[in-house]
Homo-oligomer: A and B are copies of this chain.
Amino acid sequence: MLFFTQCFGAVLDLIHLRFQHYKAKRVFSAAGQLVCVVNPTHSLKYAPARCAAAQTSAEQGVLPPCHHHEAVHDSQLVPCTCPLFSCPWEGHLEVVVSHLRQTHRINILQGAEIVFLATDMHLPAPTDWIIMHSCLGHQFLLVLRKQEKYEGHPQFFATMMLIGTPTQADNFTYRLELNRNQRRLKWEATPRSVLECVDSVISDGDCLVLNTSLAQLFSDNGSLAIGIAITTSKVHNAEAEI
């Protein structure tokens, strides 16, 4: 009997997910934007040196001492930049994307403007929603994280990182936009490089930060839609003109 109840529950979940996807598509496709449904993942980081240290210091609100490469030379190997796992992989920056896709199963989306639809926002912290975004000849990593910086008070942090060097990252501006019920919240900033560790960006609070109450105001049926756009920044344009 329990087995049938569970099967029925699973089927209902599938129908609900399908319905949510169509609903999001209907709402956003009018604007010609690609909607990507992103399911949550629990962070599975464990032991090895650098990430354990980064995680502990992030929990204490201290900037972790993890990778701050100001310049990465072509021949230099970089560690795996997946924020979910502590992975021993090392490789050239150009193959980070294929490593993230193949080993960590992170999806990649193409398009100037996309909508990131994070499901199951009610799940307890720590939870991550992650996707890669291919745009303007580069790949970006979008991370939405639910984390309890202060015990018992989960918050949502969203940021975009360039899979490239900090110097390359300075050429772009990313925009995250929430829009629902006659309320609109926009965050615009220069993306950080993935070499700068997502944990430190979040512990610095230098990203879009949402309290649970604000996240609920912008959510629809437990899902949060974030409009994403990437442009080349003015500095880059000015340089190009010169």
Contacts and interface: CB of A to CB of B under 8 A. Distances in A.
B189 A233 contact: no
Nearest to A214: B205
Contacts of A19: none
B214 A209 contact: yes
Interface in A175-215: 182-190, 204-206, 209-214
Contacts of A73: none
Contacts of A217: 205-206
Contacts of A206: 183, 213-214, 217
Contacts of A209: 209-211, 214
A150 interface: yes
A189 B178 CA distance: 12
A173 interface: yes
B189 A186 contact: no
Contacts of A186: 184-186
Interface residues of A, number: 23
Nearest to A153: B150
Contacts of A212: 205
Contacts of A214: 205-206, 209
Interface string A4-20: 00000000000000000
Nearest to A182: B190
Contact of A187 (B153, B184, B204, B205): B184
Contacts of A233: 182
A190 to B, nearest CB: 5
Interface string A151-190: 0010000000000000000000100000000111111111
Nearest to A188: B184
A217 B190 CA distance: 14
Interface of A: 150, 153, 173, 182-190, 204-206, 209-214, 217, 233
Q: Which 6 residue pairs are nearest across A and B when measured between Cβ atoms? A: A205-B213, A184-B188, A186-B186, A183-B189, A182-B190, A205-B211
Given A184-B189, A206-B217, 8 more contacts: A182-B189, A182-B190, A182-B233, A183-B189, A184-B188, A185-B187, A204-B213, A205-B217
